[in-house]
Structure 1
Amino acid sequence: MFITVLHGENRADIFNIHCKVQRLLDGIKHRCGCENEDEVELADESGQVKNLLQNKHRSAAELLGERETYVLLGVARGERPSVIEFKPLLKDDCIINPKFLAKLESWQDHKTPSPRVKSRKTLKKATLDIPAVEGLRNHSPHGSRARTPISSPKQSRKC
């Protein structure tokens, strides 16, 4: 599983997302030549910030879509830690347009610091998955010997 990160003068690099977010962001900073940036973040091509910095210890594959394309953002923190400003590190007028910038600004305006969220394990109900019996089944209410073939659920699914 990989993503494409757009940066610089119409450059694109591919990154593996089977790792922790912190490792991914460090790799992006190194390969994209952004070591001078304190922090980096990603946004999709519409300007929706992915909030990776708030989820550094999670798996990147949980937060990012496989084979998706993202724009690299530099992060500047204000005097208060809750004030965050993003600047696109991509020079491409087709993507970094007024609509993209407006979405970034609206995200910054409406973002409020959230209390630290404790990790929650999702509880899954135990389910018993009984596969269909391959072969024949008697459908006669009188127990006749007429048998009709049945198909397994895998054979009857449409993809």
Structure 2
Amino acid sequence: MYDNPAVQEPSMFIKVLYGDNEEALFNPNCRTLLLLEHIKEKVGYQPEIDIDLSDENGFIVHLLRSPPLQYASDVLESRRTFILVKVSS
């Protein structure tokens, strides 16, 4: 916890690992479509590239298969680490 009561610890976030030992925090309290778009923007992927996340055990989360208007927080557990996966067709 923080010592300053005016500064609140963020309660809803996930960590995404990508690239060469890079990581970023994201707020999953949004639509899955928006989360995926924001992740692509942050890591420098083109909008047409399909991505997904896997957990640390390698299991794909399948955000791409989730309804685009579903909240990512319904699928992703807060404060967990996920690995960015580029989806090939």
Q: TM-score range by the shorter chain?
A: 0.7 to 0.9
Query: Take 1:36 and 1:62, find their aligned partners in 2: how far apart are those partners?
Result: 23
Q: What is the aligned residue count?
A: 77
The structure showing larger relative contact order (alpha-carbon pairs under 8 Å, at least 6 residues apart) is: 2
Q: Percent same amino acid among aligned pairs?
A: 36
Q: How does 1:37-116 map to 2 (within 5 A)?
A: 38-55=49-66, 56-77=68-89
| TM-score using structure 2 length | 0.82
Query: Take 1:7 and 1:37, find their aligned partners in 2: how far apart are those partners?
Result: 18
Contact kept, 8 Å, 2:37 with 2:47, in 1: the verdict is no
Task: Check if 1:10 corresponds to 2:21.
Answer: yes
RMSD: 1.2
Contact kept, 8 Å, 1:37 with 1:75, in 2: the verdict is no
| Residue 37 to residue 9, structure 1, CA distance change in 2 (3 Å) | farther
Q: Unmatched 5+ residue regions in structure 2?
A: 1-11
C-alpha deviation, 1:4, in angstroms: 0.3
Divergent runs of 4+, >6 A: none
Q: Unmatched 5+ residue regions in structure 1?
A: 78-159
